[in-house]
Structure 1
Amino acid sequence: MLDNKVTIENNDKHSLVGVWQMVGYYNYLDNKVSDSFMSSDTYKQIKIYSPNKVMWSRLNKQDSTDWFGYGNYKTTDSTLVETIVYGSNSMNKAIEKSNEFHFELILNENTFNQIELDENGDRILAENYIRIE
């Protein structure tokens, strides 16, 4: 359940509303960064957040598979939950299993990290973004 008080306090500090570009990934081992990968001109991902909606698209020039998604999102001071309503054919196959994606959220004024956790709550992978608008 989303705690509105926490969300309002978080949104007063920083907000996801805007346009974000992924700058890279972190892979984790034992909750520590084990390696990282930077985005490039051949691999890009953009996320756009309105006050309640999210849309994202990915370009991977080395792969002909299209990836995009659209849906709703909610945040607390440390979590991001995206509920994807529809997307590309590849994404639609993924959301048939589950359309709700839970992440640990580290949000600053012009950067954010969405971190995937395993069933034990350990970090697996982070997508790292910068605000571009």
Structure 2
Amino acid sequence: MKIGELATRTGLAASRIRFYEASGLINAQRQANGYRHYPEQAVQILGIISCAQQAGFSLDEIRRLLPQADSQGLAHDELVISLRRKIGEIELMQQRLAQNKAQLLTIIATIESKPEGMACAKHAERVLANMLDAQPQQ
């Protein structure tokens, strides 16, 4: 299939497909007229790439997980290990995000609790002092 049909079937821009090809993630045969011809399997591979990127996998990680042309499919054990590792990374990221959210909510509460009549500069010092006190000791 030509790149336009592949783009339509996958919902990806032709430029994105060419990028994946240049990155070695998918293969195309060049026809005599210079047009690229993609195999049917390219639809599935591009779907895998899109899902993996949404899950946070880098292109290098994806490259290691995609079926190679000379193999029968994905390496099951390696795939499961990589997916479990990615879940662990996501869980750590969720913890950091929850901590960041809590810190920001604390800062907002401190800013909003400006005592009546306190000058803005003095209040800014107070907010900064609270932020510094709240930082974990290293």
What's the TM-score bracket when you normalise by the shorter of the two chains?
under 0.3
> Which structure carries more helix by proportion?
2
TM-score of the superposed pair, with normalisation by structure 1:
0.24
TM-score (norm 2): 0.23
Asked which structure has the greater CA Rg, the reply is 2
Structure with the largest fraction of strand? 1
Task: Considering Cα pairs closer than 8 Å and 6+ residues apart, tell me whether 1 or 2 has the greater RCO.
Answer: 1
